[in-house]
Amino acid sequence: MEFSLGYTLWLREMKRFFRLKSRFIGTLGMPLFFLIFLGMAPINLPGSSEGGYISFLAPGIIGMILLFASMGAGMNLLWDKEFGFLKEIMVAPVKRSTIVLGKTAGGVTTALIQGLVILVLALPFGLKLTGIYPQFTILGFFLGFLASIGFMILIGFTFVGLGVSFASRMKDFHGFQLIWNFILFPIFLLSGALFPLDVFPGWLQYVAYINPLTYGVDGLRGSLVGVSEMPLLVDFAALVISSAIMISIGAYLFSGAEVD
């Protein structure tokens, strides 16, 4: 029963996603331009010898689109508030946690689709996919592809959770810009998406290591181009923990919110 209710909510998110094409293209824009223009920079980084800087950068940009898309999906709860649809959901005999999970499932799915679109788009710009080993093997490629989907889903859960948390506490869109520029961008820039973390001073590195996206980007790099700073299992475990925490916080804050 609760599962089919969650499915109903997921289905709605999917329909909206495919009908709001301009929003989808809008979200893709920035990561795509980062990828194309930063990817041209003549930067040589250790570990990116195989495919050049673009192969270091592309997993970071996939992390970026996942961050933006899933955070956006969580915060589109505010749209439902603004346009009244949330009330329709809230008077139905549905558990509050089911509402959050349905919304999250929808957000993660749409974020995953966007992540895969960026992955494919990065190929003509020189991304060399090798899989979980630095040298290409069929098995490594296959495992790496599966692992990267796992990482994308976990990044999705973490940041949809964060988005839902913020949206539950906000009345309208007034704080949106603030969150985007002062929370989302630092999360992105401090994740090692653009360059390795060791360029940062020590204290900032600590900050980076409590940033879930750091593990997401590292995990994506490990599974797509075979180079990672931490073992993939560490990345995986860190993201499982951050997902669980963020979804719980989101569900808790959402349950406590009164609709008006």
Partner 1 sequence: MKAIKTHDLTKSFGNLVAVDKVNLEIEQGELFGMLGPNGAGKTTLAKMLSTLLKPTSGYAEVWGNDVTLKQDEVRRCIGVVFQDPSVDDKLTGRENLDFHARMYGMKRELREKRIAEVLDLVDLTEKADIQLEAYSGGMQRRLEIARGLMHRPKVLFLDEPTLGLDVQTRRHIWNYVKTLNRKEDVTVFLMTHYMEEADYLCRRIAIIDKGRIIALDTPQNLKRLVGADVISIEADSDRLVDLLQNFSWVEWMTEEDGVMNLGVKDGKARVPEIVMAAHGAAITIKAISLHEPNLEDVFLKFTGKKIREEEGDARQHIKRIVRAMRRKR
Is there binding between residue 75 and partner 1 (CB under 8 A)? no
Cα separation values, 150 from 18, 85, 108, 216, 223, Å: 23, 31, 11, 10, 10
Size of the site for partner 1 (CB under 8 A): 25
**What's the CA gap between 226 and 76, in Å, rounded?**
35
Neighbouring C-beta atoms of residue 206, cutoff 10 Å: 11
| Cα of 184 vs its chain's centroid, Å | 11
Helix (H, G, I), strand (E, B) or coil at 230: coil
Q: Closest CB to partner 1 among 204 and 259?
A: 259
Q: Does 260 bind partner 1 (CB under 8 A)?
A: yes
Rg (CA), the chain: 18
178: contact with partner 1 by CB under 8 A? no
Interacting span for partner 1 (CB under 8 A) from 8-16, 103-111, 124-132, 225-233: 8-16
Q: Among residues 20 and 204, whose Cβ is nearest to partner 1?
A: 20
| Residue 251: closest CA among 10, 109, 81, 77 | 77
Which tokens hold the place of 243? 């997902």
Pick 8 or 205: Cβ nearer partner 1: 8
Return the residue of 69, 71, 89, 100 that touches partner 1, per CB under 8 A. 89
Q: Looking at 13-21, 123-131, 196-204, 212-220, which segment touches partner 1 (CB under 8 A)?
A: 13-21
Q: Which residues bind partner 1 (CB under 8 A)?
A: 1, 4-5, 8, 11-12, 15-16, 19-20, 83-94, 258-260
